Structure formats: C-alpha cells, structure tokens
Structure 1
C-alpha cells in the first residue's frame, strides 16, 4: 500500500515552516553521457508551489551538436534531435522556469552540473541559487527504500512510471514523489538538505567531437566500446593522481601560507571546474584528498553551512575551512616543503 502524505495545516498537523522555500523547480535532464564534456539532449521542468503542488510543466529536446550517446537509455537518436533547438535557443525558456526556485532533482549534483555547464558554454548565468537532492532528502526522512533509485522512491509513494529515462516522465514522477516527502519533512521537523549552486566561471573544454555512434557515455571508457551499462554510473569519477612527493606538514594555520604536501579536500560547488581546481592545487604541490580525516590540512567549501559529510567531519575534527576565493589567493604563493 502506497505511503500517504501527512496532513499539514491548521488543526491537521504541524504549521508549515516559514523557513522552507516558497517554490520549487523539479528538473530532469537526459544527456549524451556522464562526463563533464557531455551535453543535454532533453530537459523537463515541473514547477511546484511552496507545498509541492504542481503549477505547470515544460519539456524540450535539445540538439547536442554531437552523437546523442546512450540511445538505448534515453531513446533519442541523431534523427530525432536533428531539428531540435540548440541549448542557446531554449536557455531563456529554461531560465524562466528555474528563476527564483529551488532546483529539485534525483542526484541533483548531476542535473545541476550539466545545466551549469550548458549555461557556461552559452556565456549565460543560470538563475539558480539552491538545489535539493531527493536522494539526500529520502535519507534524512529514513524512508524504507531498498535502494536510492527513482523507481524505488516512486514505488514507495505509489507513483506509476510510464517512460523511465524520458525527461518529462521522470520529472513528473519525481514531482509526485517529492510532494509527500516534503510534507513528511514538515511533519518530522526536518531541515531540508539545501545546497548552494555556483555557476561555472571557468572550465576546461575537451577539443573535438566524439565519433558518431561511439557514445562515450562512461567518461574514461573507450569511445569505441559501446553497449548498455548501468544508468547513473557516477558523476565525479575519481581520478588516479601520482602520489604527492612531499610529506604532510600538518594543518593550515589561519593567516599563514599553504605548504607543499598539505592535504586539501574540496566540498560542494566551485566557480572553477572541480577538476581544473584540483589540477592547479596538485601542480602547486598539494595533496588532493577525496575525504576528510584527522590528517586533512584544509577543507575548501563555498557552502560551510551545508551538512555534507566533509563539512560535518571537518567540524568534528576542527579542520580549518576556507572558501574558494581565499584558496585561489593562497595558491599564488605556496611555501616549498623545504622551508619547513
């Protein structure tokens, strides 16, 4: 039996919190792949009011100007997309539907990152300031799900999927599942997992289109190797870096300099593409760490109030925290390890 949305309102449960967002944009994008240089092939938005009620919806295919990638997943072929508008031609419509709203998506970092990169290519700034991931919300609500796939969340609330991995239907399913989750969050007095969204101002572009029909869906997977793989294979795939040649000198001290060998972790959105920022830190002699431990010298984040695992651990360990701008300034003058 599907879970029911709790009644909320005067005389029927908790009062709606003043601090909750006033409106939401439930988003789904289908793409040519999961890598940072992949493109959007379709996008859908369901606009919701403060209590999760649907106001309207919008959908468009997008010509990615390249191979459409995993057609076995999103179902869109080169022929289907040949006459579709370019992203620059839908950017205004999409912006209108996102403006002033919290972007809601299932694995929101992926959808937001793809949108942010498309707007960056178009030399535009998307009007999004916060996002909410329904996977994170489901965890906070302790929903009894077998896994964190959209189909499991939909089944929990009795929402029927009609065309999985079609942007419009996925956005509809998520909108219908988000509404009872939102009401349950109010009932449980849960702080919504809102994260700041920072548009990209600098990013590396990979030269040259991928060969037609090769997909290139899975990042480092060779373009000539095709065939189905699990959707949602991952967004930020870890990159193997050479070992840092310098010993860890300990924690960063406020007002001091970065020193070669310091272990640096990065959390949340950055204005400069994450890989580019990591490369600059590595070139300066720093050790980029994928997690925070007692040995971490510094955490870089633009959203210190976000309860990410890295921020929570940094607070627990007393790890120093800096924002991206301060980190960039310090990267200009990193002390050699020999000065220790």
Structure 2
C-alpha cells in the first residue's frame, strides 16, 4: 500500500476491514532504538472487535529495565525471559493482515519496529490506528483521553495500569463500543498507512509514521484546479481546500475526507485556494481571516461534509500535459 495513495488514509467506520491487532509495550525508556521493550502484548481481533488470538511475554532487554516504579518489572524478574528475537515470529503472526492499534500508536509502533530492526525482522504492518485520535473524533466530553479515563467511561475494569497485557485487554474491550459509536455517528476511522525510510543502499533502517498534514500537503493532485467554490454548486475534484483552526471536527478526519473525495489539501491560503473549512463566522486571524482578505469562500465543517456526498468529477492533470515536453513532466511532481 502506497503512502501517497489518498485512498489509504482513513475509512468510514461502517466499511469492512481485515481486523485489528491491539498492542501495548512497556519499555526501559522513551527513545526507540536506545531504550528497549521489557514486555509486549498483542491481541488479534476480528473486524468487529472479538479476540481471535493473543501473545504476551516479558522480555529480557539486555539493559537496565528503567522505570520499575511505572511498569513494576525488575532486572531479576526479566533475567532468563525470552528476548524480542525469540517472540518476533509469534508477534508477526498476530499482526499479519491486520491494522495495528494502540493508544498513542506512534510510541508502540516505533518501539516495535526498532526492536524488529535489531533482529533483522520486518513486521507485516501496512496500516495503524491510534485510539487517542479515534476517541477525539467521538466528542465524548471527557476531561482527557487517557486509557484509564476511557476505561471508566465505558465501564471497563483496569486491574493493573502500565501492565502490557492488562492495558492491551482494556484497550480491546474499549475498542468494541468505540467502533459502534463511530458507526452510529458516521465517523471515519483514523486508519493510516506507514512509510518506510531507507538509506541509499536500500537497507531498511526504520519505519515511521508521517503526520497526515505533512503528507497531504505534498500530495500532487490528480486533477486540475477548477477554481473557487461557488455556494449553491457542488464541489469539484481538484479544488484546493484549506482547513482553519476554528473547526469542530478534527483536522485529521477532515483531511482524510478531502483526499478521499479527490480534492487537494492546501496547508496555506492563497489566490489559488478554492475554499476554507471554518466554523467561525468572522475569524479574526489564521486561515479563516486570510480567506476573507482574498475573497475565498468559507464553509462550516458540517456543511462541508454534507457537500462531500456529491463531488463532481474533475479533469485529470494528465490531459493537460505533453509526455514529450520536459516542462509538462515537471508539472506532475
């Protein structure tokens, strides 16, 4: 799956997937590649959230276990335990063909890939989903989105916080009602692709999660820009859409929908911007204000999502290019 494929960013909650792999790791520190994993738990779930297989193990990290007061694991407890290399094969089977899910997925995923690199293994992960971002989209009205707060909200008992297996089981139990609520409210799931970074010799050094805004702003549009949005008319593929700070939906969900519809995401506002999504009627700063200065139309988030129901097909960029003209070829990149 290409990280530059707009269709790979997010999907409707009612659209079938290939299942989930809920993971949690406890570590000796906070820097992947330097700190090590001291315990790992992974639960393979069906698309509707039922557990199908599981993996849990303490790990001998070969280094000081770090914050014992957090994870409760001492050097004596980890002595003689398996290494990551001993369990990576079983972990691969849990992950295979599923979207990796974690609470703050960037942390867990970074540590897993760093450990896999050390034993020259490659994890079969193409997409990930962060339950922090998913919970944020549901607008639950909670004080914070920590795992223990979500557990209390959904009535899930958390026995041992910061224990990898307990945290993974709690997250798996939370995931089921969260997915149901996302379907009921027609939300999009933040299922994001992962990208691979390599050195010039082609050796995989590590994989990383790119922020959606960064990738989306760099994606070349497949369609020519048809110009400004006209109120009362439909959206047209290729329109350049910016998102102001003053929106009630999360930026990530709006950007996913922009890409999926064949529109182009614009990180800044200029004369070529077709519209700006903004829930403030008269913004006094930022992209909404810039839109007013340039005469670019403002559309509220809810109205914008409604307009995405019918988007007119755009004109492919290739129709305007001559494959033998070097200048036209440069325009594609």
Q: Classify the TM-score, shorter chain.
A: 0.5 to 0.7
Aligned match for 1:163, one of 136, 157, 160 = 160
Q: How many residues align?
A: 218
1:92 corresponds to: 89
Alpha carbons of 1:187 and 1:144: their partners in 2 closer, same or farther (altered >3 Å)? same
With normalisation by structure 2, the TM-score equals 0.58
With normalisation by structure 1, the TM-score equals 0.57
1:54 has 2:51 as partner:
yes
1:137 has 2:88 as partner:
no
CA distance in 2, matches of 1:153, 1:105: 13
Q: Give how far 1:158 is off.
A: 0.4
Structure 1 portions without partners, runs of 5+ = 1-14, 203-269, 278-289, 320-340
CA distance in 1, matches of 2:128, 2:163: 21
CA distance in 2, matches of 1:301, 1:60: 40
Q: Structure 1 residues 307-316 or 23-32, which shifts more? A: 307-316
1:74 corresponds to: 71
Q: Give how far 1:138 is off.
A: 0.4
Superimposed CA distance per residue, residues 224-264 of structure 1 (whole angstroms, 9 cap, x where no aligned partner): xxxxxxxxxxxxxxxxxxxxxxxxxxxxxxxxxxxxxxxxx
Structure 2 portions without partners, runs of 5+ = 1-11, 221-249, 257-263, 271-333
Question: CA RMSD for the aligned pairs?
Answer: 3.5
1:30 has 2:36 as partner:
no
Alpha carbons of 1:44 and 1:65: their partners in 2 closer, same or farther (altered >3 Å)? same
- What secondary structure is seen at the aligned counterpart in 1 of 2:188? coil
Q: Give how far 1:33 is off.
A: 0.9
Q: Give how far 1:22 is off.
A: 2.3
Alpha carbons of 1:201 and 1:38: their partners in 2 closer, same or farther (altered >3 Å)? farther
Q: Give how far 1:273 is off.
A: 6.9
CA distance in 2, matches of 1:58, 1:117: 19
Q: 1:120–1:201: 8 Å Cα contact kept in structure 2?
A: no
1:328 corresponds to: none
Alpha carbons of 1:178 and 1:153: their partners in 2 closer, same or farther (altered >3 Å)? same
CA distance in 1, matches of 2:113, 2:37: 11
2:266 corresponds to: 315
CA distance in 2, matches of 1:26, 1:50: 12
1:193 corresponds to: 190
Q: Give how far 1:318 is off.
A: 6.2
Aligned positions of 1:200-211 closer than 5 A: 201=198
2:273 corresponds to: none
Q: Give how far 1:307 is off.
A: 6.1
Superimposed CA distance per residue, residues 137-181 of structure 1 (whole angstroms, 9 cap, x where no aligned partner): 001111122111100010110001001100000000000011100
Alpha carbons of 1:273 and 1:195: their partners in 2 closer, same or farther (altered >3 Å)? closer
- What secondary structure is seen at the aligned counterpart in 2 of 1:317? coil
1:43 corresponds to: 40
